[in-house]
Amino acid sequence: MKKYYGVIPPIITPIDENENVDERGFRNLLRHCIDKGLHGIFVAGTNGETMALTQQQRENAIRIALDEVGGAIPVMAGVMDTSTRRVIDNIKRLEQMGGSCAVVTPIFYARHVNQDETKRHFEKIARESNIDILIYSIPAFTGLSLSFETIEYLSKMDHVVGYKDSSGNFPDFIKCLMYFKGKNFCLLQGSTPLAAASMLMGADGFIPSISPLFPSLFIALYEAGKSGNISRTMELNELIAETSAILMMSKNQISANKCALSRLGLTDKRVIFPLDPVSCEEEKKIFTAVDMIMIKMKELGLPV
């Protein structure tokens, strides 16, 4: 069994009215994820509004996650930033907090970053790090889609243990699945619409943002895909597509996701300014969709 596998939510960061981390709500949500059998936590990612948090609050979110999870499941922490030095500084602070896995993207905001620059970026980070490094491709935010050749190159570096692909470039992900088959290198699908096909083809897991609300559904898909049960995987994937549709019921996916997760009664739906919060009409639509999905989960024999 590889270290990083299964259903790993890119966890939201609950905030209070001052946009500080809501520690009580966050701990409740983290404990819920553990108790419901999710396989890991990805803290301080895009879905966690990490670049909208202050540096202090970003580190506070990571500290809380590490403390509350306490080694029960792996915690992967986002350290992405705008330069190599800033990423290394983030990793050093993560190491001091007791973190064991850093999620690293190419640098962003710089408009002309290329594959060679990104290779040098990871080389320096790997030399100066003492914990696991997970490569993260998310071109919608970095402006650069990592090629299969780059992933192959980076995988040979010390401390680099896996790859989270949110590029949507399925042909290149398939190349990775074939190349790394039988090797101790984790492949995680970051695009939920591609999760079912990825699992059937040998991925180690996937990163669905709304999974804390429907944990049994996503775990069932992981298990069906991992076992090669095509019919069950397809059946579950139809319902998972409906969960993804919830994220499009507001002006932005983070607001929709936080609103949906607030139905658990553990966290607030607040988002960081200036993101649009959900309207009353959008909230009703989201909650109706949540209720319908839970009814269908029961029909599929899944606990809610």
Domain holding 156: CATH number?
A: 3.20.20.70
3-state secondary structure of 144: coil
Residue 117 lies in a domain: yes
Distances (CA, A) of 252 to 190, 282, 286: 18, 11, 13
203, 177 in Cβ contact below 8 A?
Answer: yes
Identify which of 76, 85, 251, 86 has the alpha carbon closest to the alpha carbon of residue 162. Answer: 76
Distances (CA, A) of 4 to 53, 75, 111, 144, 150: 26, 9, 31, 24, 21
77's tokens: 């922490």
- Orientation of helix 280-299 relative to helix 215-227, angle to 10°: 50
Instruction: Give the pLDDT confidence of 23-47 residue by residue, as tens digits.
Output: 999 999 999 999 999 999 999 999 9
Residue 290 lies in a domain: no
Residue 204 lies in a domain: yes
46, 280 in Cβ contact below 8 A?
Answer: no
- B/e letters for 9-39, b = 16+ CB within 10 Å, e = fewer, are bbbbbbbeeebebbbebbbbbbebbbebebb
In the chain, the number of structural domains is: 1
Q: What are the helix (H) ranges across the chain?
A: 23-35, 55-69, 84-96, 115-127, 139-142, 148-154, 170-179, 195-200, 215-227, 230-246, 253-261, 280-299
223's tokens: 């298990």
Range of the domain at 79: 6-228
Determine which helix (DSSP H) or strand (DSSP E) holds 220, and give its type and residue range: helix 215-227
Per-position pLDDT tens, the chain of length 304: 789 999 999 999 999 999 999 999 999 999 999 999 999 999 999 999 999 999 999 999 999 999 999 999 999 999 999 999 999 999 999 999 999 999 999 999 887 789 999 999 999 999 999 999 999 999 999 999 999 999 999 999 999 999 999 999 999 999 999 999 999 999 999 999 999 999 999 999 999 999 999 999 999 999 999 999 999 999 999 999 999 999 999 999 999 999 999 999 999 999 999 999 999 999 999 999 999 999 999 999 999 9
Burial of 73 (0-12, 13-18, 19+ CB in 10 A): middle
Residue 247 lies in a domain: no
Question: Whole-angstrom Cα distance, residue 92 to residue 99?
Answer: 10
- Site of tokens 């999760």: 195
Residue 76 lies in a domain: yes
Residue 201 lies in a domain: yes
Question: Whole-angstrom Cα distance, residue 240 to residue 238?
Answer: 6
Identify which of 250, 266, 259, 260 has the alpha carbon closest to the alpha carbon of residue 294. Answer: 260
- CA angle at 151 for the pair 150 and 153, rounded to the nearest 5°: 65
Residue 156 lies in a domain: yes
Determine which helix (DSSP H) or strand (DSSP E) holds 28, and give its type and residue range: helix 23-35
Identify which of 233, 260, 267, 263 has the alpha carbon closest to the alpha carbon of residue 244. Answer: 260
Residue 92 lies in a domain: yes
